[in-house]
Amino acid sequence: MKKLVMLTLISVMIVQCSGNRLKRSSGRGSTPAQTDSDGNPVDGSGRPGTPGSVKPGLPQAGKTLVWKRYRPFESGLVKGLGLTKDQVCLELGKDSCIDKVHLTVLGGNEPFINGQYERAQTPTVLTAVAIDRVVLAACSRRIELDAGLGANAVVFKHFPLTAAKPSDDQIKQQATELYRRLLARDPEAPELQAISAFGGTATAGDKIALSLCYAIASSSENIFL
């Protein structure tokens, strides 16, 4: 229960900061852009957008966010956390959570076995659940690997995962590492403040590491482009 509450609190704080950042960015809207079955942008009539219909450099409200579907989402976790495809998430240690178990709700389709010929145009009510599951599995796997690597840890290397309470600076350094790896940017001041507030009430290095990884990897900034 404590672990769930911790994950929820830091996730809410960082998602709020991330959401505010998206709203401030060049007047972008909060509605995902419409795409065809291949993920290509379409105009309001459902037809593929025609060249020259939108002036470059002028984002259109409500049509600038694009859903990062299953493969880009998976690739970001693989690269950001230094994992292999098979280490991200496996159902019962066998089937890929992304390619099989949650393929449909993560924006993919499988016509031959499942008979699904078209992809969902927007995230479904189950998409967030699938994202949470995949992210938690990937983060947990990276923490498990880094715990065994000790001084040679790849991602979680800014404080001992067995530490009773890492310092505020160590937590910020680890958060910055994750922001750079997963979102390709440094955290902003409000985000660091939220992380600091969380760190003041948190204990146990491995739980802090998992909370940071989950909150950043499942943020709206990592799900939409």
CA pair distance 219, 200, nearest whole angstrom:
22
Summarised one tens digit per residue, pLDDT across range 177-203 is 999 999 999 999 999 999 999 887 877
Q: Encode pLDDT of 2-46 as tens digits.
A: 454 455 555 545 545 545 554 444 444 444 455 555 555 555 444
Amino acid type, 124: T
On whether residue 198 sits in a domain, the answer given is yes
Is residue 194 within 8 A of residue 14, CB to CB? The reply is yes
Would residue 54 count as lying in a domain?
no
Q: Structural domain of residue 99, as residue ranges?
A: 2-37+59-223
Domain contains 49: no
In a domain, 51, yes or no: no
Is residue 47 assigned to a domain?
no
Could you give the CA distance from residue 30 to residue 25 in angstroms, rounded to a whole number? Answer: 11
pLDDT in the model for residue 199: 81
- State how many domains the chain has: 1
Domain assignment present for residue 52? The answer is no
| pTM of the shown model | 0.71
